[in-house]
Amino acid sequence: MGPTVLTNPTRGGDSIVCLWEVQWPAPQGQASYNFLASIEHCLNKASLEKEEGSFIDIFGLDWSPDGNFLASCCGDSVVRVWSKLVGKLVYAEKVHRATVVQVRWSPDGQYLASGSLDTTICLINFKTKEIVRRYHDIGGEYRLGGLYYFTKPQRVGSVSTLTWFNDHSFIATTSDGVIRIYQNSSAAAFRIFRGHAPGELPSIQLNSNRKALISVSEDMTARIWNITPLKSIYNQEKQEMEPAEGSVGGQSGQDCLVVLKGHSSDVWEAAWCPSADGSSEKFVATYV
């Protein structure tokens, strides 16, 4: 068996993503590596550092499912995609009006979803390089003197996390403590889950059969939600897909299966314990 080759990105507060090729095993017993490239972000660092609500840090990295493209985002409102095939940027567009904190590929690699402090999510068709949908109903927007400010008391609705449910829908959490499921075919939230207090939801995790979701929050709790069924029908009048009757729910926490209380500070992460027999997971771990 030949050496395993990984192209590993690293990100830092210097607004640079570095690409490394790592190979092992090596004759000396240690992995060897080659520096491949650096991707500079936030080219207007000086002006960004002066703006309230803007940051020069790189917040998100995500490899495409086929491993050929690396998406990244930072404080200059730009989503970038670097190609391993040609060794250069193939996409760099300012798709938001404030810091982009999340970028995620769909499982089939066709779409990129990006979430921002401007309280919007952009859906990008990577094959056509077009923004196919912009989701606005994820929270409030605040203006002052023509500029957008997102200090902590005001940043209600800014995106905390994004994760894809399948090729056609994704889950977003926002700093108002709300979880929403969106479909590619509609700008309206397909399902809404309320129950957490307003604040960041740093992590959400689907279980293996994708029927339950665990979320953690600054309110010192974790919650497990029932996310089935997910059914949609085509509305001829609106000419778009919409939730079928009985599949929305979650408006006042009725789909919350359990609230896990035991921490005395913000909860940052949760993980499902895999089940050896393939049945639904019965154990989760959380930490602060």
pLDDT score at 45: 53
Contact between residue 37 and residue 19 where contact means Cβ atoms under 8 Å apart:
yes
Q: What is the pTM of this model?
A: 0.78
Question: What tens digit of pLDDT does each residue of 36-55 get?
Answer: 777 777 766 555 554 544 55
Question: What tens digit of pLDDT does each residue of 258-284 get?
Answer: 899 999 999 999 888 887 666 667 788
Q: What mean pLDDT is predicted for residues 198-218?
A: 89
What is d(CA 117, CA 75) in angstroms, rounded to the nearest whole number?
A: 10
pLDDT score at 159: 85
What is d(CA 151, CA 140) in angstroms, rounded to the nearest whole number?
A: 13
What is the phi/psi pair of residue 48, to 5°? -65, -40
What is the phi/psi pair of residue 162, to 5°? -135, 140
What is d(CA 170, CA 245) in angstroms, rounded to the nearest whole number?
A: 20
Per-domain residue ranges of the chain: 42-176, 181-288
Domain 42-176: top CATH class: mainly beta
pLDDT score at 70: 92
Q: What mean pLDDT is predicted for residues 142-147?
A: 30
Strand 240-243 and strand 232-235: the pairing is antiparallel
List of residues 6+ apart from 50 with CB closer than 8 A: none
